[in-house]
Amino acid sequence: MASLPLATAELCDVNAGLITTGDLRALEPIFRIYGRRQIFAGPVVTLKIFEDNVLLREFLEEKGHGRVLVVDGGGSIRCAVLGGNLAQLAQNNGWAGIVVNGCIRDVDEINGCDVGVRALNSHPMKSNKKGVGEKHAPVTIAGTRICDGEWLYADSDGILISRSELTL
């Protein structure tokens, strides 16, 4: 795992060639910053869901081993798919971060957890519990295609996706 902190701006500056080839991509700046861990990085695990968080919970119940869960929630702003209990589970199981193309809730609880969280916004309503979704599928969020095994780097400047682990 990358030694932190790796500043996203600096990663862009020293890896211009990877940007040109598409091996290093920046997500559109649409995410809000939550959680105590403001800077995080790790290998990506992907999940595609819509207003249902059963599969998200299943992932977070596993040991994270410093990975980052990237959740394509379809951009829904009608309910939250991540709350304080799941953020606590992520912290306890060693996940570095969670990026949600959707909403979260229990913001104060999440902000108390030592895990990085990025989401579109907060919403007080909880999600459905049907177990519908797709694990380990490529997702496209914030203008970027993201696959299992790629690397994610996040700080207050933004979020980068790389085909491989980066060093400075």
Does residue 18 have a known ligand-binding role?
no
Q: How far apart are CA 99 and CA 82, in angstroms?
A: 10
Paired with 135 in beta bridges are 47
Does residue 60 have a known ligand-binding role?
no
Work out the burial of residue 108: count CB atoms within 10 Å of its CB; fewer than 13 is exposed, 13-18 middle, 19 or more buried: exposed
Does residue 83 have a known ligand-binding role?
yes
Does residue 163 have a known ligand-binding role?
no
Q: How far apart are CA 11 and CA 13, in angstroms?
A: 5
Place of tokens 């295609």: 145
First to last CA, the chain: 13
Does residue 85 have a known ligand-binding role?
yes
Does residue 42 have a known ligand-binding role?
no
Q: How far apart are CA 97 and CA 148, in angstroms?
A: 14
List the binding residues for substrate: 83-86, 105
List the binding residues: 83-86, 105-106
List the binding residues for Mg(2+): 106
